[in-house]
Amino acid sequence: MAIDLHTHSSASDGTDSPSELIQRAGDLGLTAIALTDHDTLSGIEEARSAAADAGVRLIPGTELSVDHEGRKLHLLVYFLELGNGPLPERLAGLRAGRHERNSEMIAKLRRLGYDISAADVAAHAGGESVGRPHIADALVTKGVVSSRAEAFDGLLDDGGAAYVGRRRLTAAEAITLANASGAVTSVAHPYTIDANSKSYPALFEQLRDLGLSGLEVYYPEHSPDLREHLAALAAGLGLVATGGSDYHGSGKPGLDIGIGFGDLAVPDTVVAALEERRT
């Protein structure tokens, strides 16, 4: 029984609507899906009703970009419900930070000679959480680049010519807020934090001591060796080995829900292990 604990819909920067995403998961035989749109829970209600129809278990969640001691990392949050605890209310502030950052990036792009407006970007955003992938889509429509990936390369990516940072929670704040909201957290795609895995044990131990519950071991871009290494680390630290595809619909070509690039298989036992961590 396979599941997928990392997916994005059109409520943030995926291209499938929440119900299309759930239907696709059901058609592929997945038994549980976490919808983890960036900084928003606005796709959850639609996903929940589609999940009931498709016989898929929905785990409501989000993905947060956080700072931790000079590094940036992403945290997946699971079992996060509107009206339950302090974290859901903090998401609006994070989206406001996105809005300010997007305006600054558009201004920077215009100074670089790209004829792009806030309306061009808004035309590509399906929901309230707007980000760099939507700026990328607008640049594709303008014919400046041919794909999201090309727009990121040297332009929108961290340190790129049009890059502007945005307001973020610290890892300690995000983990504390999540735990106080009856949710649990897992470090998303650890390979993006550091290409050298030597720093992982000390980093993940620190985060565990802050209240982290899991580590995203099973991820499309993780090699078999890295998956094995991270699984051993998670076991040693008492963290749940989580996994997901980071599906974005056609926003990430060649990658499918559940299976990633074809070799992903996350066991459904992970859900119960995460549930046990809820406080």
Using CA atoms, how far apart are residues 44 and 247, in angstroms rounded to an integer? 16
CA distances to 29, 76, 121, 134, 178 from 126, in Å: 27, 21, 10, 9, 26
Residue 40 neighbours by CB under 8 Å, 6+ apart: 11, 12, 62, 91, 95, 127, 128, 129
Question: What residue type is 44 in one-letter code?
Answer: I
Of 60, 88, 126, 131, the residue at the interface with ligand AMP (CB under 6 A) is 131
Q: How many residues bind ligand AMP (CB under 6 A)?
A: 10
Q: Which does 16 bind (CB under 5 to 8 A by kind): ligand AMP, Fe ion, Zn ion, none?
A: none
The stretch among 88-96, 146-154, 179-187, 205-213 that binds ligand AMP (CB under 6 A) is: 146-154
* Residue 94 or 234 with smaller CB distance to Zn ion: 94
DSSP at 155: I
Q: For residues 134 and 121, is the Cβ–Cβ distance under 8 A?
A: yes
Of 152, 204, 218, 247, the residue at the interface with ligand AMP (CB under 6 A) is 152
- Residue 250: exposed, middle, or buried by beta-carbon count in 10 A (0-12, 13-18, 19+)? exposed
Q: Which does 152 bind (CB under 5 to 8 A by kind): Fe ion, ligand AMP, Zn ion, none?
A: ligand AMP
Closest distance of CB 8 from Fe ion, Å: 6
Closest distance of CB 212 from Fe ion, Å: 16
> Which residue is it, tokens 């499918």?
256
Binding to ligand AMP (CB under 6 A): which residues in 206-245?
none
Count other C-beta atoms under 10 Å from residue 152's C-beta: 18
Of 74, 95, 148, 166, the residue at the interface with Fe ion (CB under 5 A) is 74
- x/- mask, Zn ion, residues 13-52, rule CB under 5 A, reads x---------------------------------------
Considering the rule CB under 6 A, would residue 78 count as an interface residue with ligand AMP? no
Alpha helices in the chain (DSSP H): 18-27, 44-54, 87-111, 118-122, 132-141, 148-151, 171-179, 200-209, 224-237, 269-275
Considering the rule CB under 5 A, would residue 39 count as an interface residue with Fe ion? no
Residue numbers of the site for Fe ion (CB under 5 A)? 63, 74, 188, 246
Residue numbers of the site for ligand AMP (CB under 6 A)? 13, 38, 131-133, 148-149, 152, 157, 248
